[in-house]
Structure 1
Amino acid sequence: MNGYDIIDEAVVDAPADVVWDALVAEFRGAARWWVPANTFETVSGAPDEVGGRVAVTVHTKGVGNGGPKLRFTARTQSVLPGRRMTVEYVDGVFRGPADFILEPLEEGRRTRITMHFRGRPHGKLKLLAKVADIGAEHSKATQAAFAALNGQLASAPVGGAR
């Protein structure tokens, strides 16, 4: 197993700036929509600034349910506010880049969110990848997170009315 090249995407019923704010908040530790699979904690800087570092924990059985926890650190490489963030996994069980891309749709009323993950397993995950389909689990967790994000934002009032 050399690595993963996975693209997951979903359409969210909210404008790109609202989706961006939710993405950045999640990376700061909000734990609103990527839970129960992943939690995030800022290590240094800000996740939406070049050089910012975020510790990621993958809870293989869900937060609070025991099971192995996979940890890695992402360092922000580039940011186009409201549209794109590229991170590099620099420590822990993954190495490699990932892009988070937001594309406004329907005159800005909806947003396509895409995660392009190109990580390589490292350390104990390299062994686990021989017996488990890490790529499928990654996509399953990402799609569930995007669905939760849509559920959260689609029901939120925008501009005082919906």
Structure 2
Amino acid sequence: MTTYDRIDEAVIDAPAAAVWEALVAELQGAKEWWVPHNTFELLSGAADRVGGRVAVTVHTKGSDNGGLKLRFTQRTVAVDPGRRLDVAYVDGVFRGTSVFRLEPLADGRTRISMHFVGTPSGFLKILSKVADLGAEHSKGALSAFESLGRKLAAPVGAGARG
């Protein structure tokens, strides 16, 4: 049985409160920085409250490009607001956990990390024998963190024309 255990992290040029707000918004369906790799839909409760349930879709070719869609449901199991969010994958193509951690840095930036431990379920067990899903997960998470960094570093009014 294949189990993935990956830790991906990045430093974001923004305070932890802003990173936390963006993380929670994304998990509740904002579609601002994790796309095109993943999209999230709030099913019940709130993503940052114990018991909140979120539908996750991994878009293997991007959210607007067809391709295989990997779907699973996560349930929030622990929260330390502004610092840590723990989820369990309870249904769909993965079973396991993820822990999101935010670490405020002395210079006002924030280290964000995602510790993913997951076992493929259903048809994904077969796919995991021919594709490195762990590497693909890391590629998607790191790309999302880069996008988050760009979003939060953008100056107010960027893109506006006068």
Q: Same fold (TM over 0.5)?
A: yes
Give me the whole-angstrom Cα distance separating, in 2, the residues matched to 1:145 and 1:106: 23
User: Does the residue aligned with 2:146 lie in a helix, a strand or coil?
Assistant: helix
1:155: how far off?
Answer: 1.2
Give me the whole-angstrom Cα distance separating, in 1, the residues matched to 2:22 and 2:123: 31
Give me the whole-angstrom Cα distance separating, in 2, the residues matched to 1:156 and 1:131: 43
State the match for 2:33 in structure 1: 33
In the alignment, structure 2 segments of 5+ residues that lack a partner are: 157-162
1:24: how far off?
Answer: 0.3
User: Does the residue aligned with 1:101 lie in a helix, a strand or coil?
Assistant: strand
Report the identity percentage. 66
State the match for 2:113 in structure 1: 114
Deviation beyond 3 Å, 4+ runs, structure 1:
none
Give me the whole-angstrom Cα distance separating, in 2, the residues matched to 1:144 and 1:73: 21
Give me the whole-angstrom Cα distance separating, in 1, the residues matched to 2:2 and 2:34: 26
Give me the whole-angstrom Cα distance separating, in 1, the residues matched to 2:109 and 2:153: 9
1:59: how far off?
Answer: 0.3
1:91-106 matches, within 5 Å, as: 91-106=91-106
Give me the whole-angstrom Cα distance separating, in 2, the residues matched to 1:135 and 1:2: 10
1:64: how far off?
Answer: 1.3
1:47-58 matches, within 5 Å, as: 47-58=47-58
1:156: how far off?
Answer: 4.0
In the alignment, structure 1 segments of 5+ residues that lack a partner are: 158-162
User: Does the residue aligned with 1:153 lie in a helix, a strand or coil?
Assistant: helix
User: Does the residue aligned with 1:112 lie in a helix, a strand or coil?
Assistant: strand
Aligned pair count? 156
1:135-150 matches, within 5 Å, as: 135-150=134-149
